[in-house]
Amino acid sequence: MVRPWVRSVACIAIVGSAIVASGFARAQTTPSEPPPVTAQPDASPQPPPAAIVESEVLEPPGTDVEFPDATETAEPLEAPLVPDTHVAAPIRYVLEGVRVRGNKTRGDVIAHYVPIQPGEQFDVDDPSIELIRWRLLGTGWFEDVKLSLARGSRRGWVILVIDVRERNTLVIDRLVLGLSSVVKNSQTHSDVVRPYAGLGLTENNLFGLGTGARGAGVMSLHADGVAQYGLDFGYYDPMLRGTGFSLTARVFHNYAREFFGRNPLVAIECRAPLPGEEPEECDPDVEGKRAVVIYHRTGFGLGTGHDISGQLRYTLDWLGEIVSVSDKPSFASTQRGRDIVPIDFRIEDGTSFVSSLRIGFVFDRRDHPALTTRGTAASFSARLASALIGSSYDFARFEASVRHWIPLPWHHVVSLGLFAGTVFGNAPFFYDFYAADLSDLLPSRVLELNLDRRRTLNLLGTSIVEMDMEDLAARVDFEYQVEVYRGPGVIHGVDAYAGLGVFLLASRADLRVAISGYEGWARFPIDLTFDIGLQADTELGVFRLGFSSQAAFSRTFRRWNGVSAAEYRRRLRTTQ
C-alpha cells in the first residue's frame, strides 16, 4: 500500500516541476521588446532587430559567427570588455552581433551562452556580461575565454567579440586503482587484499556540437575470478535545439554483491540445478556462509535541466531500474551491541523494479572547476520512488552539500565542506548511505558499487562500528590546499592538499534508542576521516591521488577495524 506522504510529496514535486518548466518555456519563446536606444544613433534608419537576427551567417566549425552588414564596416577591436566603476551614468549599447574567434566548436553553440539578443540594449557594467565568460569556462571546452567589443556598422551599435582558447575535450573522468578486502576462500572467514580497477572516458564536445558522451567501467576480483563489475554510458546535450533546456540519457548495468552484519550467523545454500541443467559452480561467498546478497541491477534514465540564473541551475530526471537477486540468505542474524538481531536485507527476492523521479538544484560560483581558489559550490537533490510510477519500493531520499573556498594572504587556500542526507521509506539498500561515501580511509563506491566489505575504521571507538548501510548521514570537514605548479603544457596545474573531518552514519531508530553496550559519547555513531594527496588539472582530465585509503591497510589500522568500542579502547591501551 502506498504511504499517503509519498503520494503527496510525489504529486507536489511533479506539479511544481511542470510549473517551473512551463515558466521557463514561456520565457524562452516570448520575445521582449527592446528598450529605447540611449546611445546616440546616427541619422540613418535602423533595421529592426529581427532583420539583424536573420542576417546572421553560421559558418562551419573553426570560423567566426558574424553579421555581414556589421563586419564590413566594423572598426578594429577595442579594449577588452571591463566594467568601469568610475562612470557616473551607465554606458549602454545596442548589440549588433556576436563574433567568435579561435574556436573549433560551432559558433552558434557558443553564441547560445550569450543571453543578450541582437537589437537589445545592454550595460557593460552589468554583472551578467562577465557571467558569459564564467558559463563558457564552466562547459569544460575552453582553457581561456576573453570578451571585448568592436564598433558596429552605426553609432551606438557594437559587436560582442568572444575569443576562446579550446582545450582537449576527450578526457579521463574516472581512473580508479586500488586494493579491497575480499573473502580468501570458502573454508575460512579471513580476508585477503585483491585489486580493483576502473576507467571512464568523456567527450565533452562531440564533433564540436557542444554535446557530450561518456562511458565508464569498473571491475574487482575475488579468489575465483570476477567479484563485481559495472558499466555506465551516458549522453548530454546542454542546449537541446537551442531551447536552453538540457537533455541527459543514461544506461548502466551492475553485477554486484553486498555484505551485511558483524560476525553474522547465516542460512544460505548454493542454488540447486534444475532437472537437465549442469550444476553451476557455487560462489565462494555463498559457500563461506557469508551474509551476502548477489544481484544484477540494470537501469535507464532520461532527464532535463535549465539555468535559473548564471550560477543556479535545476535538473529533473527519471530513472527506471530492474533488480534481479541471484543469491540471498534465507535467514541471518548479527551481533549489534550486546544483542543478537535479525538482518533486514532490504531487497525483494527474485526480480523487482525501482522507478524514481529526482529534482536537483546546483549552485556554482567557483573561480576554477578543478583547482578552485575561491567561491562556493552547493547542491541539493530529492529522489522520490512510488508504486504510482511503477516502483516496487516507496521511498524518498534527500541530500545536500556545500563547500566554500577561502584564499589566504600567503596564497594558500582553505575550504570548508558540509554534507547531510537522509532516506525515508523502504528504499533498497543501495540507496542508503555507506561508510565508503563518507570516509576517505575506505575506497569510495564506484559506479554505485561498494568494492570493499570493510566498515569504518572506528578511530573514535563509538557505536558507528555497528553500522552497515544506514538512512542518516552527515559530514563536516576542512581541507588545506597548497599550489605546487601552474604553467602551460599538458599539465596545467598541481595542488597538494590535506584534509580532516568527522562524519556520522546512523539509523534514525538507533538515535531514539541507543545500541546496548555503549555509554557516554560512545553512543554517538561518529568517526574521523582524513586524507593527504595531490590534485592535478591536465589535458587528459582532473586527477586526484589520495593516500589515506591505502594507509588503512597498514597493520595498525587493520587491527582496529571492526571491533567494539570497549575492545578498541583495550587495544588502544595495548598499543600505547
355-380 pLDDT, tens digit per residue, is 999 999 999 999 888 899 999 999 99
pLDDT band at 282 (very low <50, low <70, confident <90, very high): confident
Q: In the prediction, which pLDDT does 540 show?
A: 85
What range does the domain containing 64 cover? Answer: 31-166
Query: Has residue 254 got a pLDDT over 60?
Result: yes
Residue 555 lies in a domain: yes
CA atoms within 13 A of residue 400's CA, in its CB half-sphere: 3
- Residues 231 and 453: their CA atoms lie apart, in Å, by 20
Query: Has residue 571 got a pLDDT over 80?
Result: no
Q: In the prediction, which pLDDT does 380 show?
A: 98
- Residues 213 and 250: their CA atoms lie apart, in Å, by 10
Examine the fold and report which residue of 131, 166, 201 is the final residue of a domain before the chain moves on: 166
| Of 70 and 175, more confident | 175
The residues pairing with 57 across neighbouring beta strands, listed in sequence order, are 66
Residue 384 lies in a domain: no
333-353 pLDDT, tens digit per residue, is 998 888 899 999 999 999 999
Q: What is the DSSP string of 526-538?
A: EEEEEEEEEEEEE
Q: In the prediction, which pLDDT does 33 show?
A: 39
Residue 527 lies in a domain: yes
Query: Has residue 87 got a pLDDT over 80?
Result: no
Query: Has residue 66 got a pLDDT over 50?
Result: no
Residue 136 lies in a domain: yes
Pairing of strands 170-183, 246-259: unpaired
Q: Which three cell numbers stand for residue 211?
A: 554535446
The domain tally of the chain equals 2
Examine the fold and report which residue of 109, 134, 166 is the final residue of a domain before the chain moves on: 166
* DSSP SS3 for 501: strand
- The secondary structure of residue 34, as a DSSP letter, is P
Residue 312 lies in a domain: no
Which of 26-30, 343-347, 475-479 has the highest average model confidence (pLDDT)? 475-479
Q: In the prediction, which pLDDT does 30 show?
A: 38
* Percent of the chain whose predicted confidence (pLDDT) is above 90: 39
Examine the fold and report which residue of 129, 149, 166 is the final residue of a domain before the chain moves on: 166
Average pLDDT over residues 461-479: 94
Residues 501, 505, 511, CA angle at the centre, nearest 5°?
125
437-466 pLDDT, tens digit per residue, is 999 988 889 999 998 877 788 999 999 999
Residue 466 lies in a domain: yes
Q: In the prediction, which pLDDT does 53 show?
A: 30
Average pLDDT over residues 476-505: 94
Q: In the prediction, which pLDDT does 183 show?
A: 59
Q: In the prediction, which pLDDT does 173 show?
A: 84
Rounded to the nearest integer, the mean pLDDT of the chain is 80
137-174 pLDDT, tens digit per residue, is 878 788 889 998 888 888 889 999 999 988 888 888 88
Residue 55 lies in a domain: yes
Which of 114-123, 181-190, 321-330, 557-566 has the highest average model confidence (pLDDT)? 321-330
Residue 488 lies in a domain: yes
Q: In the prediction, which pLDDT does 483 show?
A: 95
Q: In the prediction, which pLDDT does 482 show?
A: 97
Query: Has residue 247 got a pLDDT over 60?
Result: yes
The contacts of residue 230 (CB under 8 Å, 6+ apart) are 198, 216, 217, 218, 219, 252, 253, 254, 255, 256, 446, 447, 448, 449
